Structure formats: C-alpha cells, structure tokens
Amino acid sequence: MSTTSPLVDETANITGSPYTPSKRVGTPKVLSEYSNAPTPKTPKSRAYSPDTPRRIADYAPNASIALIGMRGSGLSTLAVLASSALGFRVLDADQYFYKVTGLSRAAYKSAHGISQYRQEELQLMKSMLFDNPTGAIIVCGPGAVEGKGREWLAKFAKEHLIIFILRDAEDIQRHLRVFDLRTIQNLIRRAMPAYRRLSNFEYYNASGTSPRKSNYSSSRGDLSPSALALKNVENDFLNLIHGIVKRDDSYDKYKARHSLSSLPLVSRSLTYALSIPLTTLTTLISELGEVDIEADAVEFTIPMSTFCTDVQDLDDTVADRISRQVSVVRRNICLPIIYQVNSYGMHNMDEFRLLDHGLRLGPEYLCVDLEFDIAQIQTLISSKGQTKIIGHYSASEDGDDGWNSPKQWAMVQRAQALGCDILRICKKATCLADNLAAKHFAHRVHSSEEYTISVIAYNTGHLGRMSCYLNSILSPVTHSLVRKLAPGCPSSSFLTVAEAQRATFASFVLDNQFFGIYGNNTSQSLSPAMHEAAFELLGMPHHYNIYTKDSMDDLFELVKDVKFGGASITAPFKTAVIPKMDFLSEEAKAIGAVNTMICLKSPTMDSLLDKSAAGPTVALFGENTDWIGIHTCVQRNLSPVNAVRRRTTGLIVGAGGMARAAAYAFIRLGIKTIVVHNRTRSRAEDLIAHFKILRNGNNRQHEAELPDSRRESESPDRMTDPVFRILDSKKDTWPEDINLPTIIVSCIATKDIDGKCSVDTSLPENWLSSPTGGVVIEAITIIPQAPIKELQINPPPFNCHLVMVANNNSPLGQRHEGSQVSTTNAMNDNLVDLSQIVDKKQFFIFGHNISHSLSPTLHNAGFQELGFPHHYRIHESENVDQTVEEMINRPDFGGASVTFPHKLQIGKLLDTVSEQGQNIGAINTIVVQEANGRRMLHGDNTDWIGIRRCITKSGIQDFSLSSALVLGAGGAARAACYAIQTLGFHELIVINRTLSKATELTSRFSELKTQAFTSLEEADNAVDADIRLIVACIPADDLGEDKIPTGLFSTTGQGVLVEMAYRPQVTGMMTVAQMHSQWKVYRGVDILEEQGYAQFELWTGRQAPVEAMRSALQARLASA
C-alpha cells in the first residue's frame, strides 16, 4: 500500500481550469512516452576486489546458474522449476554423466574403479560448467566440493550465480531413505563450510512453512497440498533469482502489475515497513501469514545476543538458523525484506559477518550502521549485488541542535559518499516540534542539488509518532496482531498503517475522494464491497459508488467534481472511452480497452503519484487491469506440473473486450499456442488480427533497439511469438498437433434469466481432458449458474474472477449437465461401452525432446477402438523430476511409456521391476498393479519385445550359428542385446565409439560369445562371422551410406536390419541393406508399433486392436 501527498511544510497550489471532455481527434499519449517520477541516482560503489565475497551487480541475463548442495536437498526439482520460467535448459550432473559415459555412477565405479571414476567425474564437471556458460541451470554433483572441482567452481563464480541449496535434515533423510537422522545431520555439518565457501548465494528449501489451512489447499483442485507446497517453493526460488539477476527487465515486463507498481519504493510517497524482531516474527508467522499485511515491506532485526552467546557461536549453525528464518518469512509474507542486525554488546566484525551472510540471502534491502568502520562498510557495499543498502544512523539525544546537528549532515555526506542507496536517521523526540524538524530536514536534503540520496527521517518514542506518519519513505509501523500476541515487542509502540493513514487524512496531508464503477449493467457489482473494505482496512476515508448509465455524459459530469478520483469502467464503455483519455498505459493500448480511469490534477504524468490530492481534473489517464486479474489467477493456481512451457496451450472462449484482456494475459504469461472459440468466426479473426498488428509493431521496435550483431541470434520474445488458432464449433475435436489446454478463460457475457444463465457456456468434454488438470477462469461478475460451472469453485480472490481448478474429483474428468461428450464412432455394435463401466485413466509418455512422438496417436486409437475412456498424452521434462512423481501418484494414473533419458532414472519411483527390466537395466513401461489391496507401480521393458517381434516376422528361424551386430551402447542397444540372447544367436558384436561402454554392455550377456569394437571398419576387418542381424541404435545422421562396409551384410543367406531411428524414412544403413536382396529391413516405426502393442496389452489386459492402431499411425505419418 502506498499513497502520495505534497510535503507537509509546503503548500502545493492546484492550478489549471476545471476538466472538460477532450475534443481532440487521435490516439491518447502512451505512458511510456513520458518520464515517470525521477528515481534517485546512486553513486557507483567501490569496485569489486578478490578479497570480497563473489557477488556482482551485473550478472549477464543469460548467464548459466549452478546449483550445489547435499543430495536430497531438491536441486533437480528447483532446476526444473527455474528452467521453465527462465527458458533455460537443465544440465543435471547424474544425467550428464550417464549421457557421456553410458553408465550410471555406481556402474562406472564398479567397472572402472574409484580412481578413474573421480577423474571422469571431474572432467565432466569441467565440461558442464565451461562448455555451457549461458542458458543453463547446472545441477552439480558431489565432486563439486572436492579438489579440482573447487577451483573450477571458484572460477565459474566470477561471472555466474552459484546458489547453495539447503534443506532440513529430516526432509533429506525422508527423501533419500538411507542413513539415520543423526548421520544426515553430521554429513550436513561437515559439508556446510565447503558449500558456503564455493557459493555466492543460498536458498533454504524449507518444507511445511505455508500457513494455508488444509481446507483451503484441498479445495484448490489440481493444487493438492503437495502441489501447493511446490508452487510456494517455485515462487520463492524464482523471486530470489530475479532479485539477483536483472534479466533485461523481462521479469518486470511479464509480471502482472499495473503501470505504477514497478516504481521503486523510494519513488513513491507514504510507504511503510512492518518492523519486528526476527524472533518475534517467526513466533507469529502462522498468524501473520493468514492476514493482510498493509505495509510495503517487512523489516526484521536479527538480535545477535539471542542468536550468539559469544563470538565462537558465529558458525554455520547460526547461519543455517537465519537462512531458514528468512525463508519462512519470505514464504509467508510476500513483501520486500529489509535485513538488519542488532549488534548491541557485540563486536563490529561479528555484525559484518552476519550482514555479509544476509547478502547471500538476496534481501531487497540491508541496513548497515554508518558509525561502523568505513572500510568494512565499503567492502560490504562493493559486494551488495542488487540489494539496496540503507545507511542507518541513530542520533544521540545530546546536543541542542536537534535535527540541524552537524552530525546529521555529516551522515548524509558519508552515506552518499559510501554509495548507500538510502539514508535512514532516527532520533528520540523530546518535544512535538521535533516531528516537524525531522520532516524539514528530509525536505532540505531532497531539495538540495548537492545530495541525491533518498532520506528516511523520523523520531522515536511516544512524542515522535507524528514524524512516522509524516515521513514519506518506509516509515516503521506495527500490526494489530503484534500488539495482541506480542505486547512486549519493541515495535508494538509504532502506529499501524491504518492509524498512520487516518492521521495523514486528519492532518489534511491527504484529501478524501470518491470513486465508482460506471457502466450500463452495474447494479449488482461486487466492486463497491471490495473497495470499501480496502479503504476501511487502510484507514482511508474514501467512498466507492455504483453508476448505472446508458451513456458517458454523466461520467464527465462526475469528472468536474474536485473530489472525484476516478472510476472502474465496464461494458459497454471500455472502448468508447479511449478517445477521451489524455494518456494511456501500454497495457490499455495493447488490449484496446480501458477499465480504469484516473483523474489527474496536473497536466503531466507526475500527478499519478499524487492520487490522493483533491482538486480540478485537468487530464485523464486510462489503464487496463482486467488482464492482471486473469494473469494473477493463473499464476496463483497453476500447478508446477502445468507450468507454462513451449507446448502449453491456452483456450479463450469469446472474442469481446474481456477476451482481448485474456489474450494479452496469455501472451504475458508466455503461452505460445492460443486457441479462440467464438460463435461468430469473424469476431475471433478480428481479435487475432488485433494482436498480429501489435506483434508486428513490437517486432519492429524490438529489432530496431537491438545491436546489429544480436538481431539474427535474438531468442524468441514472449510478446512477439504466440500462434493463434480458431475452433469454430464445439463439435470440433481438439487438434491432435497441439496439447490440450491447461488454461481456459471463458469470456462470454451472460445474464440471469429466471435463475438460469442466458448463454450456454459449456465446453465439450474432450476439450477439458487435460490429464494434469489446469485452471479454468469464468471471467464474468454475476454467475447465476453458468454451464461451465460445477467445476470446483474457490472463493474469488478478485471481484470478477472465479478460479476453478480441475483434478480427478472434479467434473473435468466427468460428464456434467450441459457439456458435450465425444462419442466413439469406430466402436462396433456388439462391444460393451466400456466408458460406462471403466474408470477413465490417464496414460503418458515421459521423456525429453518428445514433442513429435507418435505414441499418443497409436495408443489413443487403441483406446478409442475398444471403447476405453482413457487418454494418452505427452509429458516432456528434462529428467525424472517432481512433476513426473506427482503424475504417477495421481489416482487416475493408468501407466506410461518411458523414453530417453528417463529409462534409467524412473526405477527409483517404482515398487517392483520385471526380470527383463532388471536384466536390460532400463525401464520403458510403467504398469499400475493391485496387490493385496495396495496400488503398486511396476516397471517393465517392451523395447526388446518390439525388436524380437520384428525379427520373428522376417521368417528367419535358426540363428544358432549366426552372429548379431548391435550399433550403439545405450538403453535401446541393451534391449536389442537382450532380444538377441532370447533368440539363440551364437555371437554378439557391439560397436560403440567409446570402447569401455561397448565392453560393459557385452559383459552383461555372458551366455553369448561377444566382441566389442569402436567402429564399423574395425569390426569389418576383424570379424570373420556370418552376421544375420544388424540392429542400429544410434542417430541416423551419425552414419552415412559411404561409411557402412557392405562386407558386414551376410551374402550367403537371409538377414535382418532393424533401424531404430524414426527419421529420416530412409537411412544410410537401410540403403546398403536393400542392396542385398535377401535382407529384410524394419524401421523404428515398426519397432514402435510392436513394443507399443505389448505396452497396450500390459496396461489393459486386452489384445491390442492392431489394425486400428496401425491405420491411425500410418495416417499420421502420411500427413506429416
């Protein structure tokens, strides 16, 4: 909360004639064309020196970020969350090790010994760090804190963020399921110093710190308690990263904020900081987390006397406690943090150690006592990063000069010379006159040409309370809960925000005004109740009225009233009012509608900062906040499993003004595929055309602003790259080439007619079949009972935005009145409709870079043919992360296909693994089984079945004297070797560029005679065998026709080539094989089919409908 006012000791005469409606023709001026209120310039801080902590203020926006910490601390999950938001890729040390070596860490140690393993680990760590300097979240392995690993991290830290991730020992032990708690605690204690020395920031991944009650979280549909907790972690971690790294203003640009909210607190007037000691704050955190905190920031003081009984206690244990407390506060009170240390009775050096630790936590502000050693202050400021430094001085009570003391002015000079961002001076009041003196002192500093530093000046004690509400910047306040539950807290004597506000209005510093909602259907608006409640909470004597009008004439009669502050504009005037505006925000211009009008009391944009000053209106400012309601509802309720990614799809129902706001919100969220459904196609086309014009204009402006060297390589911009699609009819099936929507906004205007909705806003069930749920927003104010209803509805966080979040228990997965249910046309008459007797299950393919997978086409055709209500879809992630674990634990999870790189990782989440899966060492199928009334997750492998079935189809039966050659040594090659062993081949030959990987693979199949080579040429020269089978398990691009020796193909009889690559349709290996007339060739698609049929049978217990599945696959391939 913040308001603005003229200075107390200055009288600002309001000039200008009363407002008359604008008669000008043309477009109002856009906000960005005018300068905002000036932001104080801060002198550059002292240059970084190697002796100071490795924190810099200008990390490159695309610089890679490294995460280090104990196993089980959540590094991989945090990496995935961050990568999705930042658009970075994830490099996980474990996956990277396997990708390069073909072996897990344990398998490599077993095969090559610990010494060679250490060498390989360090070499790969160096490659991970320095071969990926940009665009990556790097999850470092255990070798990062050993030997050479430390040197490389130290070098990497000079220009990159390295974040140390901490977690409670109990949570680590619960996750790892090894060792007892005491052992985990000892491991943490021993590793902590090294991790801290190697990192420049840290994040405490605290669990169970949200105050939200269980009945609230459980009602949020797909935001189950675990998902909600993960959402909180996501918000915390991303706020930390964005607070440290300024990414070309992209974070500010895509957050849902109005035009003025991006201004720094020092540029606003009458802002407040909730002041409370950390020990008190943490005892009240559950209560404070559930109430409105009216302040603009929270300042907590760390009492060193409480945390440290003597100098020796300043160790990692104390640092851990502080880190956790800060994490809990940040989680529960979503406000900027002011970090302060109370060192009463302690040494300067001790305080600076805790202040330096505070900078590691990335607070928005940090206080330092200006009377401390200047060199130490300079060292601290030189490594502050993006944290703003508040130079603090508590003036002595001695002396008669009061606020005109030379010492105060000396502190102004010192703070500015040191490079502090803000100066804070406080002094105990001895008389009421001290309050005006404090205000006058701040005014003299601000109006001086010599000083550019922002000043906080107030008095303490009972007599000094007036100065706290007269002070403009971050005045200290308390909260009613603090007074009630911690009456002995030193800050309980401060004013509350409401008390301070009431005092400013009572002192005529601010003027009371009136506002209202203006439209032709506003009689039942909820806006007055919301705004009046806010005014009362904040101590503002304003009023908010309802204006139901058929024309805009009365609006401009209201504007002539000197106490009229502005209005909420609703239908049908949102577009019509635009020509009357003198200024427009960027958002209002982009959407083409105004829903918020502000009366300006001077003809410049600076008067936006004086919104609580009455007087004649001389200009009008138009804003649009509809999109903020939509954007915020999505952000708050979208589970991390549905986080916006490249393939995310959003659906907008309608094409009017609210639909435009929804489209703009989608674009700001980064959604690339936006589907519009509207009864009149031409209106949907108009909406799309509007944003294409906007996009083209932004593209030209964006390109003009780029250096020539960057125009070609610039990555896609969220604002310039959405793809729009139109669905004309609810009878249309959802397009197969795009994901089902996880974000839906219904923008159909409705009326209540005899208790029923005037318009059918229902949606087809197949449009609402996202297996991971999502967010549905009904963007209408009055909902008599809209057909899209009956999805679980939360209490509305905004007056006109009801959030409905789907999960397995909601009608997203059920039929409901008014919805349209897809039918199975291909179902035979003699089949039972299984959709009536079988629970709908969700099936997935888990992997990375699988957006073009053919598996959904194959399996969904099978489900449809047999009348199953199931659905199979893609879930793409870089590793087996929290989102995968969340999906397989859903009650409606039916099973999954698993592909690279998840085949070796998924086993940790399963209860049992088949013998084939264990022998192959890779899982490609998850099956849900029931055993003794318990749900079990079983892992299997059908890759080998697909390969074997193709070989069997060739008609060749006797391989007892023949050899088989496998090209590659990864997961598919392991399945091929297992199939070869079951077919009774005499010899197995494995070729791989890394001989150790080929040798390790052959060692798994000791029943066969084996040989290993590094190239086809080497094998051709050395092998004297009758090769009747070749299985190629490497990318087709790696092997051209000219690199394949024809001598490897048996010329004495039949043979089989299994080409595992899907693309291209004809590979070099296939071309050479086809030169031999008796050789039969099977493509990757053939293997996909056969192993897919085996998966289908494992999941359903029914024979796969091969013809229907194959026909669907062939049709998909033909259309590609």
Helix, strand or coil, per DSSP, at residue 247 = coil
Residue (of 867, 877, 873, 977) closest to 922 by Cα position = 977
For residues 865-875, average pLDDT: 90
**Residue 1008: count of CB within 10 angstroms of its CB:** 18
The answer to whether residue 46 sits within a structural domain is no
The answer to whether residue 324 sits within a structural domain is yes
CATH number for the domain harbouring residue 893: 3.40.50.10860
Strands 583-584 and 619-623, bridge-based pairing: parallel
Residue (of 403, 439, 597, 616) closest to 519 by Cα position = 597
Q: What is the DSSP letter of 401?
A: -
Q: How high is the pLDDT of residue 687?
A: 93
Residue (of 683, 770, 791, 678) closest to 727 by Cα position = 678
The answer to whether residue 447 sits within a structural domain is yes
At 29, is the pLDDT very low, low, confident or very high (cuts 50, 70, 90)?
low
For residues 474-501, average pLDDT: 87
Angle at the Cα of 274 from the Cα atoms of 269 and 276, rounded to 5 degrees: 150
Q: Which domain holds residue 577?
A: 511-624
- Within this chain, do residues 381 and 459 fall inside the same structural domain, yes or no? yes
- Rounded-to-10 torsion of CA 650, 654, 655, 658: -80
Query: Using CA atoms, how far apart are residues 638 and 228, in angstroms rounded to an integer?
Result: 9
Q: How high is the pLDDT of residue 367?
A: 95
Which residue is it, tokens 């801080």? 45
DSSP string, 448-484: -SS---EEEEEEESGGGHHHHHH--SSEEEB-HHHHH
pLDDT over 70 (residue 517): yes
At 399, is the pLDDT very low, low, confident or very high (cuts 50, 70, 90)?
low
Q: Which H/E stretch holds residue 846?
A: strand 842-847
CB within 8 Å of 664: residues ≥ 6 apart:
587, 590, 591, 627, 691
Query: Using CA atoms, how far apart are residues 184 and 207, in angstroms rounded to an integer?
Result: 17
DSSP string, 1005-1072: -TTSEEEEESSHHHHHHH--S-EEEEEE-S-GGG--GGGS-GGGS-SSS-EEEEE---SSSS-HHHHH
- Within this chain, do residues 386 and 485 fall inside the same structural domain, yes or no? yes
Which residue is it, tokens 């040197």? 151
Residue (of 748, 551, 751, 788) closest to 656 by Cα position = 748
Q: Which H/E stretch holds residue 931?
A: strand 925-931
- Within this chain, do residues 394 and 516 fall inside the same structural domain, yes or no? no
For residues 290-318, average pLDDT: 73
The answer to whether residue 136 sits within a structural domain is yes
Residue where one domain finishes, among candidates 913, 938, 963: 938
Q: How high is the pLDDT of residue 259?
A: 59
Q: For 269-330, what is the HEC assignment?
A: CCCEEEEEEHHHHHHCHHHHCCCCCCCCEEEEEEEHHHHCCCHHHCCHHHHHHHHHHHHHHH
pLDDT over 60 (residue 701): no
Q: How high is the pLDDT of residue 387?
A: 93
Residue (of 508, 537, 520) closest to 614 by Cα position = 508
- Within this chain, do residues 931 and 952 fall inside the same structural domain, yes or no? no
Which residue is it, tokens 């209002």? 588
The answer to whether residue 52 sits within a structural domain is no
Per residue in 1104-1120, pLDDT (tens digit) is 999 999 999 988 888 76
3-state helix, strand, coil split of the chain in percent (to 5) is 40, 20, 40
pLDDT over 70 (residue 6): no
Classify burial at 681, counting beta carbons within 10 Å of its beta carbon; exposed 0-12, middle 13-18, buried 19 or more: middle
Q: How high is the pLDDT of residue 247?
A: 55
- Within this chain, do residues 779 and 845 fall inside the same structural domain, yes or no? no
Residue type at position 164: F
Q: How high is the pLDDT of residue 921?
A: 83
Per residue in 415-460, pLDDT (tens digit) is 999 999 999 999 999 899 999 999 999 999 999 989 999 999 999 9
Mean pLDDT score of the chain: 80
Q: Which residue has the higher pLDDT, 812 or 196?
A: 196
Describe the strand order of the beta sheet including 673-677 as a list of residue ranges: 723-727, 673-677, 649-653, 743-746, 774-778, 802-806
At 752, is the pLDDT very low, low, confident or very high (cuts 50, 70, 90)?
low
pLDDT over 60 (residue 916): yes
Q: How high is the pLDDT of residue 44?
A: 37
Report residue 592 as tokens.
């083409």
Strands 1027-1032 and 1009-1013, bridge-based pairing: unpaired
CATH number for the domain harbouring residue 201: 3.40.50.300
Query: Using CA atoms, how far apart are residues 921 and 324, in angstroms rounded to an integer?
Result: 40
Q: What is the DSSP letter of 496?
A: B
Q: Which H/E stretch holds residue 241?
A: helix 225-244
**Residue 730: count of CB within 10 angstroms of its CB:** 16
Q: Which residue has the higher pLDDT, 605 or 970?
A: 970
Report residue 747 as tokens.
């923008």
At 345, is the pLDDT very low, low, confident or very high (cuts 50, 70, 90)?
low
Residue (of 691, 651, 623, 645) closest to 778 by Cα position = 651
Q: Which residue has the higher pLDDT, 221 or 1030?
A: 1030
* Torsions phi, psi for 304 (to 5 deg): -60, -30
- Within this chain, do residues 620 and 725 fall inside the same structural domain, yes or no? no
Query: Using CA atoms, how far apart are residues 383 and 336, in angstroms rounded to an integer?
Result: 19
Q: How high is the pLDDT of residue 227?
A: 58
Report residue 193 as tokens.
């110093």
Q: Can you give the pTM of this predicted structure?
A: 0.72
Q: How high is the pLDDT of residue 261?
A: 65
CATH number for the domain harbouring residue 387: 3.20.20.70
Range of weakest confidence among 50-59, 94-103, 165-174, 829-838? 829-838
The answer to whether residue 696 sits within a structural domain is no
- Within this chain, do residues 96 and 167 fall inside the same structural domain, yes or no? yes
Query: Using CA atoms, how far apart are residues 251 and 793, in angstroms rounded to an integer?
Result: 30
pLDDT over 90 (residue 286): no
Per residue in 971-998, pLDDT (tens digit) is 789 899 999 999 989 899 999 988 888 8
Q: How many folded domains does the chain comprise?
A: 6
Residue (of 687, 701, 518) closest to 592 by Cα position = 687
Report residue 377 as tokens.
């202050």
Per residue in 759-802, pLDDT (tens digit) is 777 888 888 888 778 899 988 655 444 445 444 333 333 223 33
Query: Using CA atoms, how far apart are residues 599 and 559, in angstroms rounded to an integer?
Result: 7
**Residue 575 Cα to chain centre, angstroms:** 33
Residue where one domain finishes, among candidates 566, 599, 624: 624
Query: Using CA atoms, how far apart are residues 657 and 914, in angstroms rounded to an integer?
Result: 56
- Within this chain, do residues 522 and 670 fall inside the same structural domain, yes or no? no
**Residue 813 Cα to chain centre, angstroms:** 26
Residue (of 74, 88, 105) closest to 904 by Cα position = 105
Residue where one domain finishes, among candidates 624, 653, 676: 624
The answer to whether residue 695 sits within a structural domain is no
CB pairs under 8 A, 24+ apart, for 347-351? 347/311, 348/372, 348/373, 348/376, 349/376, 350/304, 350/308, 350/311, 350/314, 351/304
- Within this chain, do residues 309 and 361 fall inside the same structural domain, yes or no? yes
Angle at the Cα of 144 from the Cα atoms of 139 and 147, rounded to 5 degrees: 170
- Within this chain, do residues 385 and 522 fall inside the same structural domain, yes or no? no
Report the residue count for the chain: 1120
Radius of gyration of the chain (CA): 33
For residues 351-380, average pLDDT: 91
> Looking only at Cα atoms, what is the longest distance across the chain?
112
pLDDT over 90 (residue 501): yes
Q: How high is the pLDDT of residue 497?
A: 93
Report residue 566 as tokens.
């502005």
Q: How high is the pLDDT of residue 340?
A: 92
Query: Using CA atoms, how far apart are residues 1084 and 318, in angstroms rounded to an integer?
Result: 58
Highest-confidence range of 67-81, 112-126, 415-429, by mean pLDDT?
Answer: 415-429
- Within this chain, do residues 998 and 888 fall inside the same structural domain, yes or no? no
pLDDT over 60 (residue 364): yes
- Within this chain, do residues 535 and 648 fall inside the same structural domain, yes or no? no
Q: How high is the pLDDT of residue 713?
A: 31
Per residue in 322-344, pLDDT (tens digit) is 999 899 888 888 889 999 998 66
For residues 261-284, average pLDDT: 81
CA-to-CA separations, 548 to 288, 520, 521, 598, 626, in angstroms, rounded? 39, 5, 6, 19, 20
Q: How high is the pLDDT of residue 794?
A: 34
The answer to whether residue 20 sits within a structural domain is no
Q: With contact defined as beta carbons under 8 Å apart, do 799 and 530 qualify?
A: yes
Query: Using CA atoms, how far apart are residues 599 and 614, in angstroms rounded to an integer?
Result: 10
Range of weakest confidence among 119-123, 566-570, 753-757? 753-757
Range of weakest confidence among 459-473, 615-629, 819-833? 819-833
